[in-house]
Structure 1
Amino acid sequence: MSATRADTWLRRYRPSPRPRLLLVCLPHAGGSAQFYRTWALRFPPGIEVVAVQYPGRAERSREPFRTDLRTLAGEVATALDTELGEDATTVPVALFGHSLGAAVAFEVALARSRSGAPPVHLFVSGRPAPVWPGVRHLAGDDEMWEDACRLGGTPAELADDPDVKAMALPALRADYALSETYTGDPTATVECPITAHAGREDPEVDPDAMKAWAACTTDPDFELRTYSGDHFFLVPMRHAVVSDVLRRLTPHLPGQLWPSTP
């Protein structure tokens, strides 16, 4: 991967000189673009994975966290236009978001639709609806960290490390606030198909609740996919999720012969 300026939004871990489709991936609360780094190697060359790096983490750690989800999504939508160059208008774009990222992806889809460049597909994961209010961002550090670890995204050997906890909590708290104070338009809908993904043992999200996303699109092509695993089923079930995403994107790549993913 070529050098990337720290203040840019997009990470293209395996840039394609001529992508046939761009899959833009939005991280979960406390997460970063690196979560999707391995995905870049699991899709065929025609699909390029573009991961979004939120301000306030990794190489953007000196930037302030965003406090309004719709503003953040608007900045992401703008970055897609400015950082993707010609690809932003000539190549189909699909969006994938997990947990917090699902709401961000939905708002990015709305923003791109308003600008005349709607996505061809929206994938949402681990979030029962765009608006999901809560008060966890008001909890104390210990309670918040315990709650985050309960969801399964932190390896057991790191959960008890005070340095890891101190490093992760600022982004986690900021993102919880971003997610839980988000007030979207309850009547807003996208025009592209939506696929919802859920873990069957997720302590946070009942897979049946993911069916609410069907009301967020005017397209009748809605699908719910469930997998074995907790809130972070995307990690152990990566191969199955990628395979499902590939299947749903096939109509946008006519004639493409899909190789087996590693």
Structure 2
Amino acid sequence: MTGLGAVFRPQLAPERLRAVAQAADDAGLEELWLWEDCFREGGVSSAAAALAWTERVRIGVGLLPVPLRNVALTAMEAATRHRMFPGRPILALGHGVQDWMGQVGARAESPVTLLREHLHALRALLHGRRVTTEGRYVRLDDVGLDWPPDREVRVLAGATGPRSLRLAGEAADGTVLTASTPPDGVRQARRLIDEGRAAAGRTEPHEVVVYLLAATGPGAGERLRADLAAEGVGSVPDLGVAGDAAAVAEAVRRLAGAGADTVVLQPTGDEPDPEGFVRFAAEQVRPLVA
């Protein structure tokens, strides 16, 4: 069955998160995703708070930019959340928006190399191994977690270009695709991910998560078009959906048919009712998605 989630967008003030997370939990939504966009909410603190405020909804951070973090710290934070809230956190990493990384003095000459090294070291640490490595960016000397997760933690990677998509297949357990990915883009991403998996000899399942820009209610079409135009993808066909639950569910099914395992509904930046949006996803769209 196709997984379904929704995004709490960081255009909302942090103090809005509690009400949205609890609405998602009460409505039975499977996943609520947060973003660590510079320079808005912190992903780790927001995820921990959302997990503490809720009982069952899974909380994803899509994604944490690795140039901002030492891999040992990433592992410590991830392991702590997974031990406190078993089975509910979702961890996704990426090389970050390069302009933002440049603003904070963390821009890497080779973002893909950094992400590869970070992913390999992080997965080893979360599997309870002691790690010594001397990479271009990641350097660890006999580092191991005192409190590794007591169950398997899947690490996802955000990816867009061919190199990063192959890397996700090689070094991550799943891939997160942006809302600028139409169904044909999902198919192409799957092919590139599988190339990376084959090169690394990986045969276990690889989850593909795709954001879907969605709007419903009064002015939905106008809000959707404005968001797509602001992202510079207004002329790309088959992006986003505006309409009722049936229209949104059909767009979800198209992405699932192209290879998405989970579709995460991304409201427009000016969504007037964030709590209502997550209830709409859970109570009206979910029953229509096989």
Same fold by TM-score greater than 0.5: no
Please report the TM-score for the alignment, with normalisation by the length of structure 1. Answer: 0.36
> Whose Rg is larger?
2
Please report the TM-score for the alignment, with normalisation by the length of structure 2. Answer: 0.34
* Structure number with higher helix proportion: 2
* Structure number with higher strand proportion: 2
